[in-house]
Amino acid sequence: MPADKKPLTFAVPKGRILDEALPLMERAGVVPDAEFHDKKSRALSFACAENSQWGRDMRIIRVRAFDVATFVAHGAAQAGIVGSDVVEEFAYADLYAPVDLDIGHCRLSVAEPAGELGCNDGASHLRVASKYPNLTRKHFERMGVQAEVVKLNGAMELAPGLGLASRIVDLVSTGRTLKDNGLAETSVILPVSARLIVNRAALKTDERVAALVEAFREAVARLKAA
Ligand SMILES: Nc1ncnc2c1ncn2[C@@H]1O[C@H](COP(=O)(O)OP(=O)(O)OP(=O)(O)O)[C@@H](O)[C@H]1O
Ligand SMILES: O=P(O)(O)OC[C@H]1O[C@H](OP(=O)(O)OP(=O)(O)O)[C@H](O)[C@@H]1O
């Protein structure tokens, strides 16, 4: 690493994308050290394995999915991995998502109680529970409906049954969670997959960030060809 350059910081989410992301990261030469996998460790920032391509030139931080975008947009991390749901929800001008990693596939959808389908159709105002207030408001605006969003951080599926909201906007993959909670998907707002994200300014000023983007592009292409 050049003496004047600090290591890059690469942000990864703690949650479900991580298992799928690790093999891709490895193909791109981003390999966290052993402490990263130690369940007893409370550390949040990790070195890269010494014998890996990035070695001391990069640190890996593990944060909540929404916070990956925040760290990268503010330049506290130069790059990271996050779902396109999060990228679109924040729409940070300083954040660029150049590589679709083809993992973490799901969709952001509207759902309502299966037994009351269509009951609120035609309403000009709806209460909707979601972790995605911006995408929810925009979607309903396009439909000519004013959505009052009740922001929840999980377990959205409980909201209609308990009178908190008449609809929810949440991620759907198999549809199992909706079904088990008596809800039905009524429309898809956004197809979702995980993206490599970078800070725009860092991409312009640090050639290592451009090299990282290229490494991930190649890793995804090689995986698709395999
Ligand atoms: N059911 C799903 N199937 C596939 N991908 C999903 C699914 N649910 C979420 N994702 C993707 O994984 C990302 C992170 O999801 P998850 O909520 O598990 O992460 P997390 O880091 O545990 O989040 P939190 O900050 O809420 O704890 C989402 O932003 C989305 O892109
Ligand atoms: O269609 P399915 O395959 O059932 O997946 C959908 C569920 O997955 C996500 O939750 P997650 O399991 O990540 O838990 P969370 O409530 O902590 O976000 C999402 O919020 C749904 O609840």
Looking at residue 125, the DSSP 8-state letter turns out to be E
> In this predicted complex, what is the ipTM?
0.94
Ligand nearest to the CA of 17: 1
Kindly indicate the confidence band of residue 3, based on its pLDDT and cuts at 50, 70 and 90.
low
Asked: is 106-191 a CATH 3.40.190.10 domain? The reply is yes
**Cα–Cα distance between 165 and 128 in angstroms, integer?**
5
CATH architecture of 8-104+193-225: 3-Layer(aba) Sandwich (3.40)
pLDDT digits (tens, 9 = 90+) for 143-164: 999 999 999 999 999 999 999 9
CA of 65 from ligand 1 middle (Å) equals 7
**Cα–Cα distance between 166 and 150 in angstroms, integer?**
11
**Are the CB atoms for 185 and 96 separated by under 8 Å?**
no
Q: Is the pTM of this model over 0.90?
A: yes
Task: Give the domain ranges of the chain.
Answer: 8-104+193-225, 106-191
**What b-and-e string marks burial along 156-172, b requiring 16 or more CB atoms within 10 Å of the CB?**
bbebbeeeebbbbbbbb
Is the pLDDT score of 4 beyond 70?
no
pLDDT of residue 225: 87
Ligand 1, CB within 6 Å, residue ranges? 13-17, 64-66, 83, 85-86, 104, 106, 171, 173, 192
> Given this chain, do its domains 8-104+193-225 and 106-191 carry the same CATH topology?
yes
**C-beta neighbour count of 50 within 10 angstroms:** 9
Is the pLDDT score of 2 beyond 60?
no
